[in-house]
Structure formats: structure tokens, C-alpha cells
Amino acid sequence: MERICPQYEGGHQMSRWIKVILTTMVAVVFCSLSSGSAMAAGTYRPGFDRNKVVYVDPQSSAHPTRPIVFSDLEKKLKEKAEQQGITVYVVFAEQGDDADSNKNMALPVLIDIKKAWWNEPGFDRDRHLLIVHVRQKGTEFKGKTAAEAGPALKKMGLTGNRFDSMQGPVMRAVYEHMKVSQPDHERFILAVVDHVNEEIAGYKESQNQPSPSSPGTGGGSGQSSGGGALIAILIVFVLGAAVLGLVAIVSTVFSNEQERKSKGRREIDVLERELEQAKSELKKLDPELVAGVRPGDAIAKTGTTKDQLSALRAQYADQQTAFALWGEQLQKAEQSLSSWFGSGEAARMIATGHVTVGGAEGGRNFVTGQPVTVPTLRDYVKNGVGRLKQANATLAEKLSAAQACERSLAEHQARKEKYLAEALNFEPFKSADDNLAGRLAACQAKLAADPIAGVVEYAAILDAMNWLGDRLEAGLRASKLLPDAGAQLAALRKVVDERRSGQIVLSYPGAVVGDLDVSVRSVSATVREDGFDPDLHIRLAGDRLKEGRAALKAGRTAEADQLVNQAVEQCELGKQGLADYDNARQAVEKGGLSDEAVLGLESKLDAYLPGELKLADRDLEALKGRFIHESFDDLDKGYEQAIRATVDAGQQLRQCAQFYLEQRFKAAERSLQRARQFVQTAAAYRMTVVQKSTELQGLVNRVAKTREAESALREQLTKAQPKGTSEATKQQRVAALVLLDAFATVVSRDKPDWRSAASQADRVDAALVQLGVSMEADKKSYDAAQKKLDDARRHGCPKDKLAAAESSADGGNFSAIDGMLVGYIAGSYLSSRSSDSGSGCSSGSGSSGSSCSSGSSCGGGSSCGGGGCGGGGCGG
């Protein structure tokens, strides 16, 4: 039994005892898991049907994204099987719960199917080719394949090893049709069968070659000399070497030929797909244009239209012919690959082959009509349809433009008839219309005979037709709008007259404002005030309507359209002005501020605001006693503004009442809004004073924290400095002390500038933080210097050098220490000693207790790795 490849795997023949062991293990596992596996869905294993050669898993047909539907695969397989007298069976299944995707899932399915089918009537035992493909769950193209051939085909070399081979029929098909950008299951199966047929044909051809004749048995003396035997051995040796060399050459040539054939098959496959795609694109062309007939179109197409339609039809036919011939060319190239050394011929046909259509190679160019030579199929497929599509689109656009001309001519005629039906004056346009009518008649005749040429004629008269059409449209609009504009004007005039014919009740929300009596009264309505007069809009609207009617009557339709629209606009302005007038009256009567009436504002001015301002003045006096004037000088200005605001608010309220009694409601509303703003300004002043007091108190509290810590800080800055303090740190200490003195000077005044004092306190804190960082750095540097001094003492550094280095460390001059102790600091000292030629690393001389291995030395200029012998032996 055969299997194929790990990823589309074939297989190897399993010996009988392995089969027995596996069968026993499977039986044991099955028995132990029978209760759990009873619910699992196994991989599809169809029963044998002597009338079928293709078996597709129902789950494959219902796959959500890539359903398997082999419409004519069975027919193709039978045709290919007849070529070499074999029987092909194909099973396509989906991975079941019993399959492991890490192994060849198809192999156990193939084994089970062969066992089940072997004794079925009609199953071809001897010359069958059984192909099983199992698709991996959740994928579209991943899967495993197993194949097995009958005994007669095994004798021809189609064994398990052959199916395993990368040059075998299955793996070649995998790389040609599955490991590509657009995999195809059907092409894959067909390619496997093609390759099997090729190998059978190759085997038969090799069997027909004449076998070499046997050597003669002529007589001789019956005795052979030693020299003759040596010569015979030499001849055999030479012949053997020659045969081996020939075999190697033939093997190489055959291998190269197989590689070229695989490449050729891949190339043909790509070209076939491109050809099919090009045919599909060709079918998308407008069938009516290609046929040159549009249903219901009575135009007798002649001239340019007929020529271009004929050229398009001819090119379409040429393209169809070319594609058919190229299909035959590809089939010939594919057949060439079946011969022993047909790769070169196939490559030539693909690369340089061409077809002749309509007397011109590659068809005719639609625009120029000149022959186009396309030397390769790939260029023809890519460019031929593109040119035809462009020509089709261009012609379609031209014919659509011709139809648009016909429609616009009909629309113009309908517009003219409607204009005359409205009894409008057409006399001013008669001369232009007569001239246009003659040109249009010629254009219509041209369009009827030759639409494409008619479009050119139409473009020349389009501006004139549009000009006349615009004038007629404007007249129709003005005529339609005139009655509506007159009705709007009459309605506006009626509303204004009704308002002025009666009395209105003025109910101002208060009896007296200051010395002004605003008790409820009934007065005659004026419906007029500064900035609004409905009579002006009524007069302007009436004038525009009168002028519009006169213009329309005279045939000045564009002017009439504009004047009538202006009349409508004046009516709208009058209606909107009345609405704003009424809204302003309501706003004044209701007070405007939520539920608060105008008297609420007045009561604020009389009671609330004076109390608030008095409290604000008290808070301001308290600030003056504690802070310098620069801290709150803006509050003095704010107090003056608050006082003025109370006065201004009262004036605005009295003015609002006066305007209201005069029926100047919009002016009254503006005064009321200003009064609210003045009251809000005055009321906000108290809050401003409170906020300023809070802000200044925060500054006082900030300064107090630093003031409390002043003595401790001064003591810390003036005490003796530790050893190892650097010069830079000493300067920072002095600078911090200067800042602390400046802070103390500011806060010692009778009335400090608390802003300046808080700023000084921040600077003191920042300087102390930086000083702490520098002192910590000095401490680390001093500790490191002491370790270097200890190293130098252990390595015998002279006392005078030690004393000088120690003095530098105490003074904070850490950068000079390395130079003073050079040669005596750990690492530097040992490196300098061990680098001398001929000196060895004796046992125990390395750091960390490690030593060089016995007998090793660092001679010859080598040194111990890592600055000593620690952790290993001598380097080199």
C-alpha cells in the first residue's frame, strides 16, 4: 500500500507484520474507547459503485467558502484513463474526528477503501489508480493525499517509492496546482493522472527498444594466455567506466529535462488561466454594440457610426478566433511535454509562437486599423482584450451621447410648447428660435443617419439652444411664482392692518420703575419701531411685483424671474420682522431670566447687591491691612466697576420700561439684556474678592512652612562639611545659604510681599534638593576612592603616594586619584605584571582563589584572561 508526502504525502509499503501489529493496536484502542468514539464523526469512506469513478464527501459539497463541485471531472478522467488503458478512482473527503492532521490523514482512508472495494464486482484490481485526498478541517486548500496503483502498474515503476519521490506524479502535480497563488483541486487531480500516463508511456517506449545481442561463442584454441586475460580485464574495466559515465550523463540530462518539463507545465497552467480570464472579460462586452443592433432602435446607422460598429464587430470576431487558436497552441505545447525531450519545443511554442487572424498577426488595431503583431501569447492575452474593451467603451460613450442629443432636442421642443401654452410673449425669441430650428432640423437628420457624426453637429449648436432654453425656463418660473408672491403680499398687508385697527394691553411686570408709572394700560398698536417697519417691506414687495409683471410681458424673462423672487423675499422679511417684534414683547413681559421677573432685578439693585458690595468692601479692607497694595490693586478697579454696574443696571431697567410703553419692544429687550449683564458683573465682584483672599492666604501658608524650618536649614548649611566634599558641592552650599538669607530678609518686613516670599521659598527648596543630590554623589565617589586606596596598600604602594592620594580624596578631588595610584589599583597592577614575557601564573596567584591549570604559563606575551587567572587558566 502506498502513501504520498508529509504535506500531500504518498507512502511506503508496510510489511505484513507491521500491518498485524497496527491492526491489533487499533482494535484494542477501538474497544477501550468505543463508548466515547461512538459519537465522533469519521472521515468519509464511500461504498463502491461500478458506475462511478469520482466520489465527493457531502461535507465537501457543502463547504462554507470553497464547496467542491466537479461538474465534468468524471468525463475527463475516463478520457485520460483510456489513453493508457487504466481505471482511475478519486475520493475527495473532509477531515473527520478520527484523523490526525499531523500525519497523512489520507493513508488510512485509502487502506480501508481498497480493502472494502477489492472483492466488489467491477473493481479493476490489476490496472487501477486510486487517489484519495482529505482536506484539512477549517481550510480551503490544505490537505493530505495518498495514491496506490494496481499490480500491473507497479511493474511499470509506479510503486510507493515513486509516489514518494519529488519527481513522482503526485508531488509534481502538487507544486504545479496546489502550492501556487490560485490552487485548483480539479487541475491537481487531472495533473496526477496525466503524469501517471506519461510514466506508463515512457515505460512502454523503453520496452520497445532492441536489446543488445549476446556475445558469440566462437571456437578458439581452448587455452587463454595470461596477456589475453589481462587485456580482457582492462577492456571490461574501460567499458564499465564508460557505461557508468554514460549513465551519469543520461541521468543528468534526464533530470534537467524533467525540471524543464515541470517549469513548462507551470507556465502552461498560468497561461491557460489567463486565457480563460481573458475569454471571460471578452464576454462582458456590450452584446448590443458587438452585434451592432439595439432593440427598438430605428436609426439607420451609416457613415462613421457604421464604420466604427463594423470595425468593433470584426475585431471581436478576430479576438474569438485568436483565443481559439491560442487554446489549440497551448494543447500542442502540453502534448509536446509528453514526449521524451519535448520541453524545448513546448518552450518555443509558448515563448515565440503566434497566430494569424484576418490577415494580420494578433488582430487589427481598432483605432488605426493597422496590423498588430503580438509575438507571445502572454502579451496577446493581456493587451488584446484591453484594446477591445477600450474601443467598446468609447463607442458606447459616443452612442450614449447621441441618444442624449435626441433627448435634449425633445426636451427643448416640449419646453417651447409649454411656454406658448402659458400665453407668454414669445415674440422676442422668435428670430433666435427660427434660426435654431433650421440648425436643429439638420442636426436631427444627421443624428438619424449617423449618430456619432451627429454628436459633432449637435455640440456646435448646443450653446444657442441652452441660451434660449434658459430664457424660456426663467419665464416659466416667473409666471408660476407671480400668483404666489401676490398672495403672500396680500396676507402680510392684512396682518399689519388688523394689528393697527385695534387696541393692545401692555402688562409690564411692575407698577413703578423709579419715577416712571408703568401700570397696566390699553393703547393703539403701532407695529413699528426703530429698525423695523413692515410698511417698508410691503412697499418694496409691491414695487418688485409690478416691475416683474412688466418685464415678463416685455419678454425680459431673466429679469422678471429675479424681480418676482425679490418680491417674495421682502414678504418673508416682513413676516420674520413681525415674529421677532412679538417675541421681544414677550421676553420683556416675562422677565427673561428663568422664572425671575424684571422686578426681581430691581429688587437686587435695591437690597441684595448693596449688601454684597458692602461685604466685599469689608473683605477688601481686611486684605489692605495684611498685604501690600500690589497684591490686590486689581480689586480696587473691580470695586469701582461693580458700583458703576449697579447704577448702569438701574438706568437700563428704566430705559427698558420707557421703550416698552412706547411699543419699541426690540429696543426694550436689548435694554433688559444689558441690565442683566450689569447685575451679574456687580454680583460677581464679591466672589472675586473672596477668591483673591483665598489665593493670598495660600501664599502665606506656603511661606510659613519654609519659615518654620529656617533655623534647622541654616544649622545644616553652616555645620562642618564631611570629608570628600567636592568643590562644586561647597559652592552649592554657599549659594543655598545666600537664598535662605534673602528669604529671611523678605519675610522680616512689617507687611511682606507674600508673592515674592513664596517665590524665594520655592528657590530655597529647589537648591536644597540639588545640594542633597550632589552630597550623595560625593559620598559614593569618596567610598570608591577609599576602596582604591585599600587596593593600593595591599599591592605595596609607597606611603608618600598613598598620603597624596588620600589628601586628594578628603578634598573631593577624585579625578586625580587614578593617576596617583596607577599600577597599584586592582586589575591595572596585575595586568602590568602579567604582561611581561616569560612570567608565569603560579598556583594561587589568580584572583578569587582561582589559579592557572598546572604547568600553564602566560609566556610569549600572552596574559591571563580577565585581568588575572580567576575563573580559568592562562589565555593562549
> What is the tens place of the pLDDT at every residue in 345-354?
777 777 655 5
Predicted confidence (pLDDT) at residue 780 exceeds the cutoff of 90: yes
The residue written with cell numbers 437686587 in the block is: 604
- Give the residue-averaged pLDDT of 379-406: 72
Selected residue with higher pLDDT from 119 and 863: 119
Q: Are 391 and 367 in contact (CB under 8 A)?
A: yes
| Contact partners, residue 397, CB within 8 Å, separation at least 6 | none
Angle, alpha carbons 122-126-131 (nearest 5°): 80
pLDDT for 733 beyond 60: yes
Question: Using an 8 Å Cβ cutoff, are 613 and 685 in contact?
Answer: yes
pLDDT top residue among 610 and 8 = 610
Which of 159-173, 204-218, 403-417, 736-750 bottoms out in mean pLDDT, i.e. has the lowest? 204-218
Instruction: Compute the distance between CA of residue 577 and CA of residue 556 in angstroms, rounded to an integer.
Output: 32
Q: Whole-angstrom Cα distance, residue 661 to residue 672? A: 14
- Angle made by CA atoms 810, 815, 818, in degrees to the nearest 5: 95
Whether 703 and 789 have beta carbons less than 8 Å apart is answered as: no
Whole-number pLDDT of residue 769? 92
C-alpha cell at 196: 501517471
Q: Considering only CA atoms, which of 591, 587, 585, 621 is closest in space to residue 603?
A: 591
Query: 370: pLDDT confidence band, cut at 50, 70 and 90?
Result: low
Task: Work out whether the CA dihedral 237, 243, 247, 248 comes out positive or negative.
Answer: positive
Q: How much of the chain is in helix, strand and coil states, percent to nearest 5?
A: 65, 5, 30
Is the C-alpha dihedral spanning 269, 272, 278, 284 positive or negative?
negative
pLDDT confidence bin for 279, thresholds 50/70/90: confident
| C-alpha dist (Å) from residue 682 to 442, 604, 640, 688 | 84, 10, 10, 10
pTM (predicted TM-score):
0.40
Candidate from 40-54, 194-208, 409-423, 565-579 with smallest mean pLDDT: 409-423
**Tens-place pLDDT, residues 567-590:** 999 999 999 999 999 998 888 877
Do 658 and 675 contact (CB within 8 A), yes or no? no
**Do the beta carbons of residue 737 and residue 718 sit within 8 Å?**
yes
Establish how many alpha carbons lie within 13 A of residue 691's alpha carbon, considering only the half-sphere containing its beta carbon: 7
In contact, 458 and 440? CB cutoff 8 Å: no
Most confident listed range (246-260, 266-280, 306-320, 565-579)? 565-579
pLDDT band of 123, cuts 50, 70, 90 = very high
Q: Is 555 left (phi over 0), alpha (psi -120 to 50) or beta?
A: left
The larger pLDDT score, comparing residue 164 to residue 420, is at 420
In DSSP notation, 99-136 reads --TTS-THHHHHHHHHHHHTTSTT--SSSEEEEEEEEP
List the single range of 289-298, 436-445, 856-865 with lowest mean pLDDT.
856-865
Amino acid at 327: G
pLDDT at 873: 35
Burial of residue 72, with CB atoms counted within 10 A of its CB: 0-12 exposed, 13-18 middle, 19 or more buried: exposed
Q: Which residue has the cell 425671575?
A: 596
Q: How far apart are CA 121 and CA 870, in angstroms?
A: 85
Residues 464, 437 contacting (CB under 8 angstroms): no
573-to-247, 475, 476, 525, 533 alpha-carbon distances in Å: 107, 25, 25, 20, 10
Return the top range by mean pLDDT from 195-204, 259-268, 647-656, 667-676: 195-204
pLDDT for residue 196 is more than 60: yes
Q: What is the pLDDT of residue 618?
A: 66
pLDDT of res. 38: 40
User: In this model, does residue 790 exceed pLDDT 60?
Assistant: yes
User: Closest Cα partner for 94 from 193, 185, 3?
Assistant: 185
- For residue 796, pLDDT over 60 is answered with yes
3-state SS, 600-647, equals: HHHHHHHHHHHHHHHHHHHHHHHHHHHCCHHHCHHHHHHHHHHHHHHH
**Which residue type, as a one-letter code, is found at position 504?**
I
Partners of 864 in beta bridges:
874
Interstrand relation of 516-517 and 360-361 (parallel, antiparallel or unpaired): unpaired
Q: Which helix (H) or strand (E) holds 88?
A: strand 87-94
What pLDDT digit, counting tens, does each position of 407-451 carry?
777 777 888 888 888 888 888 888 888 888 788 778 877 777 787
Residue 239 CA from chain centroid, whole number: 70
* Per-residue pLDDT at 634: 66
Chain length of the chain = 876
Q: Residues 6 or more apart from 116 whose CB is under 8 A from it?
A: 45, 47, 48
Strand partners of residue 874: 864
- pLDDT of residue 509 exceeding 70, the answer is no
> Residue 284 — very low, low, confident or very high, per pLDDT cuts 50/70/90?
confident
Q: In this predicted model, which residue has the larger pLDDT, 345 or 669?
A: 669
8 Å CB contact between 741 and 783: no
Taking the CA atoms of residue 375, residue 378, residue 384 and residue 385 in that order, the dihedral angle to the nearest 10 degrees is: 170
- Examine the pLDDT at 188 and tell me if it is beyond 90: yes
